Structure 1
Amino acid sequence: MAAHTLSLSPNTTRASHHDCRLPNSIFPPLTQFLSLKSLNCPWLGTSKLSPIRISLPKHRAINATALSSLPTAKPERVSPTEELPKWSSKAIKSFAMAELEARKLYAPETGTEAFLLGILYEATNLASKFLLANGITLFKVREEATKLLGKRKLTISMERPPLTESAQRAIDWAFDKKLKSGESGEITSAHLLLGVWSEKDSAGHKIMASLGFNDEKAQQLETLISKPGIGDD
Protein backbone atom coordinates (compact mmCIF):
# COMPACT_ATOMS: atom_id res chain seq x y z
CA MET A 1 0.00 0.00 0.00
CA ALA A 2 1.40 3.37 -0.99
CA ALA A 3 2.12 5.78 1.85
CA HIS A 4 0.51 9.16 1.63
CA THR A 5 2.00 12.33 3.09
CA LEU A 6 0.25 15.60 3.87
CA SER A 7 2.00 18.68 2.61
CA LEU A 8 0.91 22.11 3.91
CA SER A 9 1.76 25.28 2.10
CA PRO A 10 0.83 28.85 3.14
CA ASN A 11 0.00 29.55 -0.52
CA THR A 12 -2.58 26.78 -0.69
CA THR A 13 -4.15 27.24 2.78
CA ARG A 14 -7.68 28.64 2.60
CA ALA A 15 -8.08 31.82 4.68
CA SER A 16 -11.84 31.52 5.20
CA HIS A 17 -11.77 28.16 7.00
CA HIS A 18 -9.20 26.78 9.43
CA ASP A 19 -8.85 23.23 10.66
CA CYS A 20 -8.37 23.32 14.44
CA ARG A 21 -6.22 20.17 14.18
CA LEU A 22 -3.45 21.98 12.31
CA PRO A 23 -0.26 22.96 14.15
CA ASN A 24 -0.29 26.24 16.12
CA SER A 25 2.35 27.73 13.84
CA ILE A 26 -0.12 28.14 10.97
CA PHE A 27 -2.92 29.63 13.06
CA PRO A 28 -3.68 33.31 12.32
CA PRO A 29 -3.28 35.97 15.02
CA LEU A 30 -5.91 35.82 17.78
CA THR A 31 -7.63 39.01 16.62
CA GLN A 32 -8.02 37.57 13.11
CA PHE A 33 -9.07 34.20 14.51
CA LEU A 34 -11.92 35.80 16.47
CA SER A 35 -13.12 37.76 13.44
CA LEU A 36 -13.52 34.75 11.14
CA LYS A 37 -17.09 34.21 10.05
CA SER A 38 -16.82 30.44 10.12
CA LEU A 39 -14.50 27.90 11.71
CA ASN A 40 -13.99 24.31 10.64
CA CYS A 41 -13.55 22.51 13.99
CA PRO A 42 -15.28 19.10 13.94
CA TRP A 43 -14.50 18.44 17.60
CA LEU A 44 -16.68 21.43 18.54
CA GLY A 45 -19.61 19.65 16.96
CA THR A 46 -20.21 22.29 14.34
CA SER A 47 -18.65 23.48 11.14
CA LYS A 48 -19.98 27.03 11.32
CA LEU A 49 -19.82 29.39 14.26
CA SER A 50 -21.22 32.88 14.57
CA PRO A 51 -18.68 35.71 14.84
CA ILE A 52 -17.41 36.23 18.39
CA ARG A 53 -17.92 39.71 19.69
CA ILE A 54 -16.21 40.97 22.82
CA SER A 55 -17.70 43.97 24.60
CA LEU A 56 -15.87 45.65 27.47
CA PRO A 57 -17.76 47.44 30.25
CA LYS A 58 -17.64 51.19 30.22
CA HIS A 59 -15.95 52.75 33.24
CA ARG A 60 -16.44 56.24 34.50
CA ALA A 61 -13.28 58.28 34.79
CA ILE A 62 -12.02 58.71 38.36
CA ASN A 63 -10.21 61.83 39.46
CA ALA A 64 -7.44 61.21 41.98
CA THR A 65 -5.17 63.72 43.65
CA ALA A 66 -1.78 62.70 44.99
CA LEU A 67 -0.83 64.59 48.11
CA SER A 68 2.54 66.30 48.11
CA SER A 69 2.02 68.28 51.31
CA LEU A 70 -0.40 68.75 54.18
CA PRO A 71 -2.89 71.63 54.11
CA THR A 72 -1.47 74.46 56.21
CA ALA A 73 -4.14 77.03 57.01
CA LYS A 74 -2.06 80.21 56.70
CA PRO A 75 0.92 79.78 54.40
CA GLU A 76 1.05 83.57 53.95
CA ARG A 77 2.51 83.92 57.47
CA VAL A 78 5.83 82.72 56.05
CA SER A 79 7.94 85.44 54.46
CA PRO A 80 8.77 85.01 50.76
CA THR A 81 12.46 84.69 51.59
CA GLU A 82 11.95 81.80 54.00
CA GLU A 83 12.19 78.25 52.73
CA LEU A 84 9.06 76.29 53.57
CA PRO A 85 9.70 73.07 55.48
CA LYS A 86 8.52 69.99 53.64
CA TRP A 87 6.49 67.13 55.03
CA SER A 88 8.04 63.68 55.01
CA SER A 89 6.50 61.05 52.75
CA LYS A 90 5.50 59.00 55.80
CA ALA A 91 3.72 61.98 57.37
CA ILE A 92 1.84 62.52 54.11
CA LYS A 93 0.91 58.84 53.96
CA SER A 94 -0.23 58.97 57.60
CA PHE A 95 -2.47 61.90 56.69
CA ALA A 96 -3.94 59.97 53.75
CA MET A 97 -4.53 56.95 56.00
CA ALA A 98 -6.23 59.28 58.50
CA GLU A 99 -8.79 60.24 55.90
CA LEU A 100 -9.53 56.55 55.31
CA GLU A 101 -9.80 55.93 59.05
CA ALA A 102 -12.27 58.81 59.33
CA ARG A 103 -14.46 57.03 56.79
CA LYS A 104 -14.20 53.78 58.75
CA LEU A 105 -15.50 55.66 61.80
CA TYR A 106 -18.31 57.08 59.61
CA ALA A 107 -17.06 60.53 60.55
CA PRO A 108 -18.14 63.49 58.37
CA GLU A 109 -14.77 65.15 59.07
CA THR A 110 -11.16 64.11 59.62
CA GLY A 111 -10.32 64.81 63.25
CA THR A 112 -7.32 64.40 65.53
CA GLU A 113 -8.45 60.88 66.44
CA ALA A 114 -8.17 59.99 62.74
CA PHE A 115 -4.65 61.49 62.66
CA LEU A 116 -3.71 59.20 65.53
CA LEU A 117 -5.13 56.17 63.70
CA GLY A 118 -3.45 57.17 60.44
CA ILE A 119 -0.05 57.49 62.10
CA LEU A 120 -0.39 54.04 63.66
CA TYR A 121 -1.76 52.49 60.47
CA GLU A 122 1.26 53.67 58.46
CA ALA A 123 3.27 51.76 61.08
CA THR A 124 6.83 52.47 59.85
CA ASN A 125 7.13 56.11 60.96
CA LEU A 126 8.90 57.38 64.07
CA ALA A 127 5.74 58.46 65.88
CA SER A 128 4.10 55.07 65.38
CA LYS A 129 7.14 53.28 66.78
CA PHE A 130 7.18 55.63 69.78
CA LEU A 131 3.48 54.99 70.48
CA LEU A 132 3.90 51.22 70.17
CA ALA A 133 6.88 51.31 72.54
CA ASN A 134 4.56 52.94 75.06
CA GLY A 135 1.80 50.36 74.62
CA ILE A 136 -0.46 52.45 72.39
CA THR A 137 -1.63 50.28 69.49
CA LEU A 138 -3.94 50.74 66.52
CA PHE A 139 -6.50 48.36 68.02
CA LYS A 140 -6.58 50.21 71.36
CA VAL A 141 -6.92 53.63 69.72
CA ARG A 142 -9.71 52.44 67.43
CA GLU A 143 -11.54 50.95 70.40
CA GLU A 144 -11.18 54.17 72.43
CA ALA A 145 -12.26 56.27 69.44
CA THR A 146 -15.44 54.21 69.09
CA LYS A 147 -16.19 54.61 72.81
CA LEU A 148 -15.54 58.34 72.79
CA LEU A 149 -17.33 59.23 69.59
CA GLY A 150 -20.11 56.65 69.77
CA LYS A 151 -21.81 54.89 66.89
CA ARG A 152 -22.54 57.00 63.87
CA LYS A 153 -24.83 56.53 60.91
CA LEU A 154 -23.25 55.23 57.74
CA THR A 155 -22.50 58.07 55.37
CA ILE A 156 -21.20 57.52 51.85
CA SER A 157 -19.45 60.38 50.08
CA MET A 158 -16.92 60.55 47.27
CA GLU A 159 -15.65 63.89 48.55
CA ARG A 160 -12.54 64.17 50.70
CA PRO A 161 -13.66 64.59 54.34
CA PRO A 162 -12.85 68.13 55.55
CA LEU A 163 -10.66 68.73 58.59
CA THR A 164 -12.03 69.62 61.99
CA GLU A 165 -10.77 72.87 63.47
CA SER A 166 -8.62 71.02 66.00
CA ALA A 167 -7.12 68.83 63.28
CA GLN A 168 -6.23 71.90 61.23
CA ARG A 169 -4.62 73.52 64.29
CA ALA A 170 -2.62 70.33 64.93
CA ILE A 171 -1.19 70.54 61.39
CA ASP A 172 -0.40 74.23 61.84
CA TRP A 173 1.27 73.54 65.19
CA ALA A 174 3.54 70.93 63.59
CA PHE A 175 4.35 73.28 60.71
CA ASP A 176 5.16 76.21 63.03
CA LYS A 177 7.18 74.04 65.39
CA LYS A 178 9.48 72.94 62.59
CA LEU A 179 9.67 76.43 61.10
CA LYS A 180 10.59 78.10 64.40
CA SER A 181 13.22 75.51 65.21
CA GLY A 182 15.32 76.71 62.29
CA GLU A 183 16.51 73.16 61.79
CA SER A 184 16.86 71.53 58.40
CA GLY A 185 14.99 68.39 57.52
CA GLU A 186 11.35 67.49 57.07
CA ILE A 187 8.24 67.82 59.18
CA THR A 188 7.61 64.29 60.39
CA SER A 189 4.76 62.23 61.73
CA ALA A 190 6.19 62.91 65.20
CA HIS A 191 5.57 66.64 64.70
CA LEU A 192 2.01 65.83 63.69
CA LEU A 193 1.53 63.61 66.75
CA LEU A 194 2.78 66.37 69.02
CA GLY A 195 0.40 68.72 67.22
CA VAL A 196 -2.47 66.39 68.15
CA TRP A 197 -1.25 66.37 71.77
CA SER A 198 -1.21 70.18 71.81
CA GLU A 199 -4.98 70.21 71.21
CA LYS A 200 -6.08 69.57 74.79
CA ASP A 201 -9.81 69.40 74.11
CA SER A 202 -9.58 67.24 70.99
CA ALA A 203 -10.61 63.61 70.72
CA GLY A 204 -7.07 62.62 69.74
CA HIS A 205 -5.57 64.16 72.89
CA LYS A 206 -8.19 62.51 75.12
CA ILE A 207 -7.56 59.10 73.56
CA MET A 208 -3.78 59.45 73.97
CA ALA A 209 -4.22 60.49 77.62
CA SER A 210 -6.56 57.59 78.33
CA LEU A 211 -3.91 55.19 77.02
CA GLY A 212 -1.12 56.57 79.20
CA PHE A 213 0.44 59.30 77.06
CA ASN A 214 1.39 62.41 79.05
CA ASP A 215 3.44 65.60 78.93
CA GLU A 216 6.56 63.73 80.02
CA LYS A 217 6.30 61.35 77.04
CA ALA A 218 5.59 64.30 74.77
CA GLN A 219 8.80 65.94 75.98
CA GLN A 220 10.74 62.73 75.36
CA LEU A 221 9.46 62.62 71.78
CA GLU A 222 10.21 66.30 71.24
CA THR A 223 13.77 65.82 72.51
CA LEU A 224 14.20 62.84 70.22
CA ILE A 225 13.19 64.64 67.02
CA SER A 226 15.40 67.62 67.86
CA LYS A 227 18.53 65.46 67.60
CA PRO A 228 20.56 65.87 64.40
CA GLY A 229 19.94 63.27 61.75
CA ILE A 230 16.63 62.06 63.20
CA GLY A 231 14.08 61.63 60.45
CA ASP A 232 10.77 59.79 60.14
CA ASP A 233 12.19 56.26 60.47
Structure 2
Amino acid sequence: MMAARTLSVLPISTASSQFDCRKLCQSSMSFPLNLKQDVLVNSLLDIPLSLRSSHLRPLFRKPRAAVATVLFSLPTAKPERASTEKDSKWSARAIKSFAMAELEARKLKYPNTGTEALLMGILVEGTSQVAKFLRANGITLFKVREETVKLLGKSDMYFFSPEHPPLTEPAQRALDWAVDEKLKAGESGEITTTHLLLGIWSEKESAGHKIMAALGFDDEKAKELSKSMDKDVILSYR
Protein backbone atom coordinates (compact mmCIF):
# COMPACT_ATOMS: atom_id res chain seq x y z
CA MET A 1 0.00 0.00 0.00
CA MET A 2 2.81 2.31 0.78
CA ALA A 3 4.37 1.64 -2.58
CA ALA A 4 1.09 2.21 -4.40
CA ARG A 5 0.45 5.40 -2.45
CA THR A 6 3.88 6.67 -3.33
CA LEU A 7 3.41 5.93 -7.00
CA SER A 8 0.09 7.76 -7.04
CA VAL A 9 1.65 10.85 -5.52
CA LEU A 10 4.66 11.06 -7.79
CA PRO A 11 2.83 11.87 -11.06
CA ILE A 12 0.87 14.63 -9.35
CA SER A 13 3.95 16.27 -7.84
CA THR A 14 5.85 15.86 -11.12
CA ALA A 15 3.09 17.44 -13.17
CA SER A 16 2.77 20.36 -10.77
CA SER A 17 6.51 20.88 -10.75
CA GLN A 18 6.55 20.81 -14.56
CA PHE A 19 3.73 23.34 -14.60
CA ASP A 20 5.53 25.62 -12.16
CA CYS A 21 8.75 25.27 -14.10
CA ARG A 22 6.94 26.15 -17.34
CA LYS A 23 5.44 29.24 -15.76
CA LEU A 24 8.80 30.24 -14.39
CA CYS A 25 10.51 29.83 -17.76
CA GLN A 26 7.79 31.83 -19.53
CA SER A 27 8.01 34.61 -16.98
CA SER A 28 11.81 34.67 -17.15
CA MET A 29 11.67 34.77 -20.93
CA SER A 30 9.10 37.53 -21.06
CA PHE A 31 10.83 39.68 -18.45
CA PRO A 32 13.89 40.79 -20.51
CA LEU A 33 11.76 41.35 -23.57
CA ASN A 34 9.89 44.10 -21.74
CA LEU A 35 13.10 45.92 -20.87
CA LYS A 36 14.46 48.72 -22.94
CA GLN A 37 17.42 47.89 -25.12
CA ASP A 38 19.92 50.05 -23.25
CA VAL A 39 18.90 48.59 -19.88
CA LEU A 40 19.18 45.07 -21.24
CA VAL A 41 22.64 45.70 -22.68
CA ASN A 42 23.83 47.34 -19.48
CA SER A 43 22.54 44.52 -17.34
CA LEU A 44 24.03 41.84 -19.53
CA LEU A 45 27.43 43.49 -19.72
CA ASP A 46 27.36 44.34 -16.02
CA ILE A 47 28.75 47.85 -16.50
CA PRO A 48 28.44 50.70 -13.98
CA LEU A 49 25.27 52.73 -13.98
CA SER A 50 27.26 55.85 -14.86
CA LEU A 51 27.88 54.34 -18.29
CA ARG A 52 24.94 54.16 -20.65
CA SER A 53 24.50 52.50 -24.00
CA SER A 54 25.23 55.80 -25.73
CA HIS A 55 28.77 55.56 -24.41
CA LEU A 56 29.28 51.99 -25.55
CA ARG A 57 31.37 51.42 -28.63
CA PRO A 58 30.01 48.98 -31.20
CA LEU A 59 31.47 45.51 -31.03
CA PHE A 60 32.05 45.45 -34.76
CA ARG A 61 33.31 48.47 -36.63
CA LYS A 62 33.35 49.10 -40.32
CA PRO A 63 36.88 48.96 -41.71
CA ARG A 64 38.36 52.37 -42.28
CA ALA A 65 38.98 53.38 -45.83
CA ALA A 66 42.63 53.27 -46.84
CA VAL A 67 44.16 56.71 -47.09
CA ALA A 68 46.47 57.07 -50.06
CA THR A 69 49.35 59.50 -49.92
CA VAL A 70 49.09 61.87 -52.85
CA LEU A 71 52.35 63.51 -53.83
CA PHE A 72 52.51 66.70 -55.87
CA SER A 73 56.30 66.98 -55.87
CA LEU A 74 59.32 64.88 -55.05
CA PRO A 75 61.85 65.44 -52.25
CA THR A 76 64.71 67.86 -52.82
CA ALA A 77 67.95 68.53 -50.98
CA LYS A 78 67.89 72.14 -52.18
CA PRO A 79 65.08 73.95 -50.38
CA GLU A 80 66.27 77.33 -51.63
CA ARG A 81 65.21 76.24 -55.12
CA ALA A 82 61.56 75.70 -54.13
CA SER A 83 60.37 78.98 -55.66
CA THR A 84 61.94 78.20 -59.04
CA GLU A 85 60.38 74.72 -59.11
CA LYS A 86 56.91 76.25 -59.39
CA ASP A 87 57.53 76.59 -63.12
CA SER A 88 58.83 73.02 -63.46
CA LYS A 89 56.71 70.32 -61.86
CA TRP A 90 57.19 66.59 -61.87
CA SER A 91 54.93 64.70 -64.27
CA ALA A 92 52.23 62.37 -62.95
CA ARG A 93 54.16 59.39 -64.31
CA ALA A 94 57.32 60.46 -62.50
CA ILE A 95 55.47 60.91 -59.22
CA LYS A 96 53.81 57.51 -59.58
CA SER A 97 57.20 55.98 -60.40
CA PHE A 98 58.58 57.42 -57.16
CA ALA A 99 55.67 56.00 -55.17
CA MET A 100 56.23 52.60 -56.79
CA ALA A 101 59.94 52.87 -55.95
CA GLU A 102 59.12 53.23 -52.26
CA LEU A 103 56.85 50.19 -52.53
CA GLU A 104 59.58 48.13 -54.20
CA ALA A 105 62.03 49.07 -51.45
CA ARG A 106 59.49 47.88 -48.89
CA LYS A 107 58.91 44.62 -50.77
CA LEU A 108 62.62 43.89 -50.64
CA LYS A 109 62.66 45.01 -46.98
CA TYR A 110 65.33 47.62 -47.58
CA PRO A 111 65.63 50.50 -45.09
CA ASN A 112 66.07 53.12 -47.84
CA THR A 113 64.82 54.00 -51.30
CA GLY A 114 67.90 53.88 -53.50
CA THR A 115 68.59 54.44 -57.18
CA GLU A 116 67.87 50.76 -57.80
CA ALA A 117 64.39 51.24 -56.33
CA LEU A 118 63.83 54.34 -58.50
CA LEU A 119 64.73 52.24 -61.53
CA MET A 120 62.25 49.55 -60.49
CA GLY A 121 59.60 52.20 -59.85
CA ILE A 122 59.91 53.43 -63.45
CA LEU A 123 59.43 49.88 -64.72
CA VAL A 124 56.51 49.16 -62.38
CA GLU A 125 54.70 52.31 -63.56
CA GLY A 126 55.37 50.99 -67.04
CA THR A 127 53.45 53.44 -69.25
CA SER A 128 56.15 56.06 -69.83
CA GLN A 129 58.25 56.19 -72.97
CA VAL A 130 61.43 55.54 -70.99
CA ALA A 131 59.91 52.40 -69.43
CA LYS A 132 59.04 51.15 -72.90
CA PHE A 133 62.56 52.04 -74.06
CA LEU A 134 64.08 50.02 -71.22
CA ARG A 135 61.92 46.98 -71.94
CA ALA A 136 62.74 47.20 -75.64
CA ASN A 137 66.41 47.01 -74.72
CA GLY A 138 65.94 43.97 -72.49
CA ILE A 139 65.87 45.78 -69.15
CA THR A 140 62.84 44.35 -67.37
CA LEU A 141 61.56 44.58 -63.82
CA PHE A 142 62.39 40.93 -63.14
CA LYS A 143 66.00 41.37 -64.28
CA VAL A 144 66.45 44.56 -62.26
CA ARG A 145 65.13 42.85 -59.12
CA GLU A 146 67.45 39.92 -59.68
CA GLU A 147 70.47 42.19 -60.18
CA THR A 148 69.49 44.23 -57.12
CA VAL A 149 69.52 41.17 -54.87
CA LYS A 150 72.85 40.07 -56.36
CA LEU A 151 74.39 43.48 -55.74
CA LEU A 152 72.85 44.48 -52.41
CA GLY A 153 71.84 41.12 -51.01
CA LYS A 154 68.66 40.08 -49.24
CA SER A 155 67.43 41.93 -46.20
CA ASP A 156 66.70 40.29 -42.86
CA MET A 157 63.39 38.46 -43.13
CA TYR A 158 62.32 39.86 -39.75
CA PHE A 159 63.06 43.47 -40.75
CA PHE A 160 60.15 45.72 -41.69
CA SER A 161 60.79 48.78 -43.84
CA PRO A 162 59.22 52.10 -42.87
CA GLU A 163 56.12 53.22 -44.74
CA HIS A 164 58.19 55.75 -46.67
CA PRO A 165 61.80 54.50 -46.78
CA PRO A 166 64.05 57.59 -46.86
CA LEU A 167 66.10 58.29 -49.95
CA THR A 168 69.74 57.40 -50.10
CA GLU A 169 72.14 60.22 -50.95
CA PRO A 170 72.69 58.98 -54.55
CA ALA A 171 68.91 58.71 -55.06
CA GLN A 172 68.39 62.24 -53.77
CA ARG A 173 71.15 63.55 -56.04
CA ALA A 174 69.49 61.77 -58.98
CA LEU A 175 66.23 63.62 -58.28
CA ASP A 176 68.02 66.95 -57.95
CA TRP A 177 69.98 66.28 -61.17
CA ALA A 178 66.68 65.77 -63.02
CA VAL A 179 65.31 69.07 -61.74
CA ASP A 180 68.57 70.92 -62.52
CA GLU A 181 68.60 69.63 -66.09
CA LYS A 182 65.04 70.78 -66.63
CA LEU A 183 65.83 74.24 -65.25
CA LYS A 184 68.98 74.49 -67.37
CA ALA A 185 66.97 73.79 -70.50
CA GLY A 186 64.81 76.82 -69.72
CA GLU A 187 61.80 75.20 -71.33
CA SER A 188 58.29 74.98 -69.96
CA GLY A 189 56.75 71.63 -69.19
CA GLU A 190 57.13 68.88 -66.67
CA ILE A 191 60.06 66.90 -65.32
CA THR A 192 59.53 63.44 -66.76
CA THR A 193 60.61 59.90 -66.00
CA THR A 194 63.28 60.34 -68.68
CA HIS A 195 64.87 63.06 -66.54
CA LEU A 196 64.61 60.71 -63.58
CA LEU A 197 66.28 57.79 -65.37
CA LEU A 198 69.12 59.96 -66.68
CA GLY A 199 69.52 61.29 -63.15
CA ILE A 200 70.03 57.70 -61.99
CA TRP A 201 72.55 57.14 -64.79
CA SER A 202 74.46 60.27 -63.76
CA GLU A 203 75.28 58.65 -60.39
CA LYS A 204 78.19 56.50 -61.60
CA GLU A 205 78.80 54.75 -58.28
CA SER A 206 75.17 54.10 -57.44
CA ALA A 207 73.48 50.71 -57.46
CA GLY A 208 71.03 51.86 -60.11
CA HIS A 209 73.81 52.85 -62.52
CA LYS A 210 75.65 49.57 -61.98
CA ILE A 211 72.51 47.53 -62.56
CA MET A 212 71.66 49.43 -65.74
CA ALA A 213 75.22 48.95 -67.03
CA ALA A 214 75.10 45.23 -66.21
CA LEU A 215 71.91 44.91 -68.26
CA GLY A 216 73.36 46.64 -71.34
CA PHE A 217 72.54 50.31 -70.83
CA ASP A 218 75.35 52.67 -71.89
CA ASP A 219 76.14 56.29 -72.71
CA GLU A 220 74.89 55.90 -76.28
CA LYS A 221 71.46 54.89 -75.06
CA ALA A 222 71.57 57.75 -72.57
CA LYS A 223 72.23 60.21 -75.41
CA GLU A 224 69.36 58.71 -77.37
CA LEU A 225 67.03 59.25 -74.43
CA SER A 226 68.25 62.79 -73.74
CA LYS A 227 66.94 63.84 -77.19
CA SER A 228 63.38 63.01 -76.14
CA MET A 229 63.20 64.17 -72.51
CA ASP A 230 59.85 65.89 -73.01
CA LYS A 231 58.26 63.17 -75.12
CA ASP A 232 56.24 61.83 -72.18
CA VAL A 233 54.71 65.26 -71.66
CA ILE A 234 53.77 65.64 -75.31
CA LEU A 235 52.06 62.25 -75.36
CA SER A 236 50.21 62.93 -72.13
CA TYR A 237 48.30 65.81 -73.70
CA ARG A 238 47.05 63.77 -76.66
Global fold match (TM > 0.5): yes
| Aligned residue runs from structure 1 range 41-120, under 5 A | 55-57=59-61, 64-77=68-81, 80=83, 83-120=86-123
Deviations 1:8-59 (A, max 9, x none): xxxxxxxxxxxxxxxxxxxxxxxxxxxxx69xxxxxxxxxxxxxxx842376
Q: Does 1:191 align with 2:198?
A: no
Q: Does 1:162 align with 2:166?
A: yes
Number of residue pairs matched by the alignment: 183
| Separation in 2, partners of 1:143, 1:61 | 34
Partner residue of 2:221 out of 207, 217, 222 = 217
Partner residue of 1:143 out of 146, 161, 168 = 146
| Separation in 2, partners of 1:110, 1:147 | 17
Return closer, same or farther for 1:228/1:122 CA change in 2, 3 Å cut-off. closer
Q: Is the CA contact (8 Å cut-off) linking 2:190 and 2:230 kept in structure 1?
A: no
Other-structure match for 2:131: 128
For the pair shown, which has the larger CA radius of gyration, 1 or 2?
2
| Separation in 2, partners of 1:150, 1:62 | 32
| Separation in 2, partners of 1:206, 1:98 | 17
| Separation in 1, partners of 2:85, 2:98 | 25
Return closer, same or farther for 1:199/1:158 CA change in 2, 3 Å cut-off. closer
TM-score, normalised on structure 2? 0.69
Return closer, same or farther for 1:171/1:231 CA change in 2, 3 Å cut-off. farther
Give the aligned residue type for 1:198: S
Return closer, same or farther for 1:229/1:87 CA change in 2, 3 Å cut-off. closer
Return closer, same or farther for 1:71/1:229 CA change in 2, 3 Å cut-off. closer
Give the aligned residue type for 2:108: L
The share of aligned pairs that are identical, in percent, is 66
What displacement does 1:96 show?
Answer: 0.1
| Separation in 1, partners of 2:132, 2:96 | 15
Deviations 1:179-216 (A, max 9, x none): 11011110001100000000000000000000000000
Give the aligned residue type for 2:91: S
Gaps of 5+ in 2: 1-32, 35-57
Return closer, same or farther for 1:81/1:169 CA change in 2, 3 Å cut-off. closer
Other-structure match for 2:37: none
Give the stretch that moved more between structures: 210-219 or 60-69. Answer: 60-69
| Separation in 1, partners of 2:189, 2:74 | 16
TM-score, normalised on structure 1? 0.70
Q: Is the CA contact (8 Å cut-off) linking 1:190 and 1:232 kept in structure 2?
A: no
| Separation in 2, partners of 1:203, 1:232 | 30
Return closer, same or farther for 1:104/1:232 CA change in 2, 3 Å cut-off. farther
Return closer, same or farther for 1:160/1:81 CA change in 2, 3 Å cut-off. closer
Gaps of 5+ in 1: 1-36, 39-53
Give the aligned residue type for 1:98: A
Q: Which runs of 4+ in 1 moved over 4 A?
A: 58-64, 80-83, 226-229
| Separation in 1, partners of 2:126, 2:233 | 20
| Separation in 1, partners of 2:233, 2:208 | 28
Name the structure where helix makes up a greater proportion of residues: 2
